[in-house]
Amino acid sequence: MLDFDEAQRRLSEAGSAPASAQTCALSATFGRVLAQDIVARVDLPPADNSAMDGYAIRYADYAPGKALPIQQRCFAGESPQALKPGQTIRLFTGCVMPEGADTVVMQEDTLEQDNTLTITTPPAQGAHVRLRGEDVEQDQVVLSAGTVVRAPEMAMLASQGIHKVQVWPRLRIGILTTGDELVAPGQPLGPAQIYNSNGAMLAGLVQHMGADVVHTLHAADTHEAIEAAFQTLLEDCDLVLTVGGVSVGEKDLVKPTLELLGGKLDLWKVCMKPGKPVALATARNKPVVCLPGNPVSAFVVFALLVSPLVRRLQGRANVLPPVGYGRLRTHSQFHETREEFLRVQCKPNAKGMPVLVPYALQGSAIISALPWASGLARIPVNTVVGDDDIVAYYDFAHWLS
């Protein structure tokens, strides 16, 4: 069987970023991937300003009990006068610091009467002043190409006055499920049939990663139906995901159908549980990944093996998310011949250390484990692992985003 880490590496390198970028309005950038470095146009803040509602002074003018005449009242967005020696200017959060002032005394530490100010608590020199460029300096790279734009990145772009930016095109993904036993939700079940959960699940996983689901197709177990589905998917999509039909049974027709279409397919048995059968093909210069049919197996394989490829095709800089660690909390002992990935919840103990609690049932058809789990605990192959042992943790918050 193919080593899990090698399978992950091969899939993560099975594609490349798009060749051409698009211009995108700032308001539409959420979830898009930057195709350019963003260089600061202005300093942040653009001028020294007050971090508090208070009074601007020269620190040298302060003395206990000394009254300072209030020269001006200045609000954010107004330009203050130059501060005269021995006086103060009333200002508010965000106000530009007056020329000559070097300290802000917050209003809670003052007493104002008859347009004069008495400072009741000794100030620290330079207190409550935001310095020009202390956050961002003009001409520095503030966002790198390959960054996914979320709300924080949108704030950074807006703070630089940027209203249009170069991004990679949204990745178009097609999904194909196969199997005569599967029925679409909402339709009546026949004898020996089950509802098709994989199609909806994979569509949700794709959308959560910021890619577009172009088609979610289901094909009967015939060459003709599967070929027709592939013709549509390969025409319209950048990446095709299939579920089931890649084993060696009489109706496992995905592999031979792909080969008839000129696809070059590499079928692996990956040293992992769940999710051993995985296939990677190239057809019409587009990657096709064939996932196992059990819902949990398909979910785990998508999270650990397919999501890095999706990030690569999206043009992201970080393809493999971080792997954490936690203490396993279990009454069982594990000693597997494959890398096992347990569905777990991560909970901090009294010391704040992550504790990984497995779901009671770990079978590859136990769908109830998926909405319950926060991630996967990795049990190394040919290693005895038990309660309180430290194991690797793949957090869905990172691996599915």
Shared domain for 223 and 307, answered yes or no, is yes
Query: For residue 264, what pLDDT is reported?
Result: 84
The total number of structural domains that make up the chain: 4
**CATH number, position 386:** 2.40.340.10
What H or E segment, with its residue span, contains residue 356? strand 354-358
- What are the two backbone dihedrals, phi and then psi, of residue 3, each rounded to the nearest 5 degrees? -60, 140
Shared domain for 126 and 235, answered yes or no, is no
Query: For residue 1, what pLDDT is reported?
Result: 87
**CATH number, position 160:** 3.90.105.10
Shared domain for 208 and 296, answered yes or no, is yes
Mean of the per-residue pLDDT values of the chain: 95
- What are the two backbone dihedrals, phi and then psi, of residue 11, each rounded to the nearest 5 degrees? -70, -40
CA atoms within 13 A on the CB side of 334: 26
Reported confidence tier of residue 267, pLDDT bands at 50, 70, 90:
confident
Lowest mean pLDDT among 60-74, 119-133, 251-265, 314-328: 251-265
**pTM, 2 dp:** 0.91
Where is the domain boundary, 314, 342, 371? 314
Shared domain for 210 and 308, answered yes or no, is yes
Residue 3 pLDDT exceeds 90: yes
Tell me the pLDDT tens digit for each residue of 86-129.
Answer: 999 999 999 999 999 999 999 999 999 999 999 999 999 999 99
Percent of the residues in the chain that have a pLDDT greater than 70, as a whole number: 98
Tell me the pLDDT tens digit for each residue of 378-400.
Answer: 999 999 999 999 999 999 999 99
Are 160 and 140 within 8 A, CB to CB? no
Average pLDDT over residues 369-379: 98
Residue 173 pLDDT exceeds 80: yes
Reported confidence tier of residue 174, pLDDT bands at 50, 70, 90:
very high
Shared domain for 88 and 148, answered yes or no, is no
Query: For residue 44, what pLDDT is reported?
Result: 97
Region of 128 (left: φ > 0; alpha: ψ -120 to 50; beta: rest) is left
Average pLDDT over residues 241-255: 75
Query: For residue 246, what pLDDT is reported?
Result: 64
Residue 59 pLDDT exceeds 80: yes
Domain of 218 in residue numbering reads as: 4-19+169-314
Shared domain for 15 and 103, answered yes or no, is no
CA atoms within 13 A on the CB side of 27: 0
